[in-house]
Structure 1
Amino acid sequence: MSSDTGGRSAESRGTPRKAAASGWIGSALEYYDWFVYAQAAALVFPTIFFPEGDPTVALVSSLGTYAVGYIARPIGAVVLGHWGDRRGRKNVLVLAMLLMGLSTFAVALLPTYHQVGMLAPVLLVLLRFVQGFAVAGELSGASAMIVEQAPFGRRGYYASFSLHGTQAGQVIAAAMFLPLSAFLSDEAFDAWGWRVPFLLSAVVVFAGYLIRRRVAESALFEEERRQRRPQRAPIVQALRESGADVLRATCMTLVNVIGVVVSVFGAAYATQPGYGIEMDKSVYLWIPVVANLVALLFIPWFANLSDRFGRRPLMIIGSLGSGSLSYAYLWSVGQGNVLLTVALAILAWGVFYQVWNATFASYFQELFPARTRVTGFAIAQNLGLAITAFLPSTFALLAPPGSANVPLVVGSLCFGITVLGAVAAWSARETHRIPLADLGAKDARPLPKEEFDRLRAHSR
């Protein structure tokens, strides 16, 4: 029988576990590459890849190379989404990992500004563009493979492993820099220490390839490929058949504003002298680590709740809960209260935001049919993230240093964006009780709750 009806052999029972393990490890390794760049862009790139002079210009330029990755993501979503829907989920995951790993490894080999002048930042921007292009296909491809092989009634739980991996990747990236910056002198760290985390991408490529080449394509995708008739490109189909759901998922993706408020704008508000708070910068080295460690504990539990009670309730609760806490979090920063700031950052980002984060991968996959699943997910997610990437600058423009009522202004903007995400989730259909083969169909009907509960219990 199919994965939606229970009755599995021992071999088929192992398949979703292999897909989930592949999704976790692949996402952890690929997002390690993505976030190790973010750490370096703030810590070291301004001094070694850009001309000396105005440190503010150097910092802005360095962070600008980080933003280039988000500009590249919608382009990667179109190309890699097409690849994943036409060539296979496994193929796009291997391709994305190779591109990400090799471009990250290449950053470690770049010459500095003092060695080659302006060629150094140009090469850095080019490699960051490749990173953004590559990461655009990771989560959409990994979660599609998992959802299509997951046991019935457990799609949310299994799909959350790819999200669990992305959080783990962030922790590993931060953990790599903390000991290097602590035990090396500033001169040694700037000369060669920062290159070590990038060099490890060679291990990422090798390990990821070994893991992902062993995972089979889902039976649903293989059946879809056999029955495929001549058709338009997946992006054309996705927008024509599921355009409203692409828009909904894009709006839901904007809930990523929580991470922006906590770790990006929050860090600037807390530490930049112009705001007059001047909290110790080390607080904002540890907040992402601790919040993501807490997230690792909660993600599987919240995902399991989405399998029991539905995707929409958790998407709405996570959006509104985390958004409303932004007021209190920014107020605590404004008061200079470190303990309360850390506690509220963990509550908003490590707990309530994870209610949303643990659920969205399975929900987005379930909104689209198999023929456009990777493309629909990738376009919506990466468009939303590209918009989110510009929010720190927007917040800084609307609440610059010296402004009054920063928590009220930025908190209201953040909460308004999460309300938009919650409304988008409310307007979408519930999907957790719809059989896999019917997902994306306009006339799909969920199974009766009694039958759903029986089959879900049988699939454990």
Structure 2
Amino acid sequence: MSSTPTDSSAVTTVGADNGHTTTTGQPLVVDKATKRRVAAASTIGTTIEFYDFYAYATAAVAVFPMLFFPANDNPTVNLLASFATFGLAFIARPLGSIIFGHFGDRVGRKATLIGSLLTMGVATILIGMLPTYDQIGIIAPALLALMRFCQGLGLGGEWSGAALLAGENAEPGHRARAAMWPQLGAPFGFFLANGFFLILVATLGHQTGDTGDAFMTWGWRIPFLASAVMIIIGLWVRFSLEETPVFQQAVNQGKRVKSPLKELFATSFGPLVQATFIMLSTYTLFYLVTTWILSYGIGDRSRGLGLSIPYFEFLQLQLATIPFFAIMIPISGWLADVWGRKKTLILASVLLLAFGMTFTALLDPATATKPTVFIFLMAGMAIMGLIFGPMSAILPELFPTNVRYTGSGIAYNVSSILGAAIAPFIATWLVAEYGVAQVGIYLIIVTLITFGAVLTMKENKNNDLTQV
């Protein structure tokens, strides 16, 4: 099968099974070799993409405020400036979903996924080569912002393509479990990125605030440059793929549209808004328990701005809790297939509301300890896996095939602006002005918005993707 299929007069007969059917009307049976290739390609690709993204997120807390934004004597202002650049990628992501979504719905899933991987990867490698503020002045943060923007473009086209690659190759009754493979790229990429930084800090030595040691001089660049090896592996896997049968059927039936974006807004604006808010709390939670919590964990306890945990020790805490995130993803995929998408998200939302009430008990500078921080991270990561796992099935199911790449991508990435891009910034400001308890209230408010969107959604676990 070609990655750029041409129109055909063949018509596919659609059955009523969950999944999709062949041209004979029989449910699609995917051979084991194809299953392995699809699982590997969707997981490896998103692992690389998230590794690149999280490497930046880690450096945005521990490295960039001092090397790229050192002009202000106030460390909180420098951190907020770094977070603003971190958030720039989220602004770029909807644009990336429009660009790559257009080609994903017009040309095919395979070729578009290769393009998104290259865009993200090249930008990440270039970050590892950038001169610092002391070397070229204001141009340094400008170049960093540009590369961050390009990272956002690439990731904007990556997730939806990987989700469709897995979901559109799924057998009846197993779509959420099949589509959970790209979701595993999030904990895998996070573990690799933070693990790499942990090894470098342990090997080279680094104390928070020291800008003259080996880690701050050159060591921080290694994770970004090492992305080149992972990109080569990812490209090799993706070039071995075939186009998804659901997209090929849409081509055969002449269902492709000239402008997927225009068609999306004309036919699926309601699902687009619904999908955006369904994803909102997922993003807010994740960037609170990964990016913001790192800045808070190593922040100044004496000023009430953090817990003063050494950077090396906090990375250890984060790495120890990532398995809870990864374990819950396949569990949530199974629940979404057996129990239903809606019930699974309702459970996750209720747990998330309860989690928002624990910030004072577990993170207050007056009483928090490393064990309480571990409990906080463990609970947050586990809930994250439960709510994030089925999203790669839930969001695409809301859109027809000819706009599925564009629609799911825009919803996923617009929610990243509303949920993730501003979450570390808002949380840092709330702690400085009102205390850590208000961060929990912020999470509760966002979760209530998502809860409302979930209650209005239809149960789609038995829908056939070829029928929409």
TM-score (norm 1): 0.88
Deviations 1:93-129 (A, max 9, x none): 1001001111111111212222222222211111110
Separation in 2, partners of 1:340, 1:111:
39
Q: What is the deviation of 1:52?
A: 4.7
Q: What is the deviation of 1:203?
A: 0.8
Matched, 1:254 2:280: yes
- Hey, which of these two has a bigger chunk of helix by percent? 1
- Give the one of 326, 336, 352 matched to 2:383: 352
Tell me which residue corresponds to 1:62.
Answer: 82
Tell me which residue corresponds to 2:459.
Answer: 430
Separation in 2, partners of 1:269, 1:18:
40
Matched, 1:219 2:248: no
Counterparts in 2 of 1:109 and 1:340: CA distance versus 1, 3 Å: closer
TM-score (norm 2): 0.87
Separation in 2, partners of 1:292, 1:325:
17
Amino acid at match of 1:353: M
Matched, 1:108 2:124: no
Residues 57 and 291 of structure 2 are in contact (CA less than 8 Å); yes or no, is this contact kept in structure 1? Answer: no
Counterparts in 2 of 1:179 and 1:46: CA distance versus 1, 3 Å: same
Q: What is the deviation of 1:179?
A: 1.1
Tell me which residue corresponds to 2:49.
Answer: 30
Tell me which residue corresponds to 1:419.
Answer: 448
Residues 16 and 151 of structure 1 are in contact (CA less than 8 Å); yes or no, is this contact kept in structure 2? Answer: no
- Give the one of 259, 278, 283 matched to 1:233: 259
Give the number of aligned pairs.
434
Q: What is the deviation of 1:277?
A: 5.9
More displaced 10-residue stretch of structure 1: 300-309 or 110-119: 110-119
Q: What percentage of residue pairs aligned between the two structures are identical?
A: 29
Separation in 1, partners of 2:400, 2:305:
52
Counterparts in 2 of 1:254 and 1:286: CA distance versus 1, 3 Å: farther
Residues 269 and 275 of structure 1 are in contact (CA less than 8 Å); yes or no, is this contact kept in structure 2? Answer: no
SS at 1:136 equivalent:
helix
Q: What is the deviation of 1:327?
A: 1.0
Amino acid at match of 2:285: I
Q: How does 1:375-386 map to 2 (within 5 A)?
A: 375-386=406-417
Amino acid at match of 2:319: V
Deviations 1:208-265 (A, max 9, x none): 1100010100122112123336745212212221111111111111112222333444
Counterparts in 2 of 1:212 and 1:181: CA distance versus 1, 3 Å: same
Q: How does 1:401-416 map to 2 (within 5 A)?
A: 401=432, 403=434, 406-407=436-437, 409-416=438-445
The RMSD of aligned alpha carbons is 2.2
Q: How does 1:198-347 map to 2 (within 5 A)?
A: 198-228=224-254, 231-255=257-281, 256-269=283-296, 271-273=299-301, 274-275=303-304, 278-282=307-311, 284-334=314-364, 335-347=367-379
Amino acid at match of 1:261: L
Unaligned runs of 5+ in 2: 1-12, 207-212
Separation in 2, partners of 1:84, 1:235:
11
Residues 324 and 382 of structure 2 are in contact (CA less than 8 Å); yes or no, is this contact kept in structure 1? Answer: yes
Tell me which residue corresponds to 1:75.
Answer: 95
Tell me which residue corresponds to 1:387.
Answer: 418
Separation in 2, partners of 1:396, 1:169:
24
Q: What is the deviation of 1:393?
A: 2.9
- Give the one of 92, 96, 106 matched to 1:86: 106
Unaligned runs of 5+ in 1: 441-460
Amino acid at match of 2:58: Q
SS at 1:278 equivalent:
coil
Separation in 2, partners of 1:212, 1:254:
30
Counterparts in 2 of 1:287 and 1:137: CA distance versus 1, 3 Å: farther
- Give the one of 195, 202, 207 matched to 1:175: 195
Tell me which residue corresponds to 2:216.
Answer: 190
Tell me which residue corresponds to 1:458.
Answer: none
Q: What is the deviation of 1:8?
A: 5.9
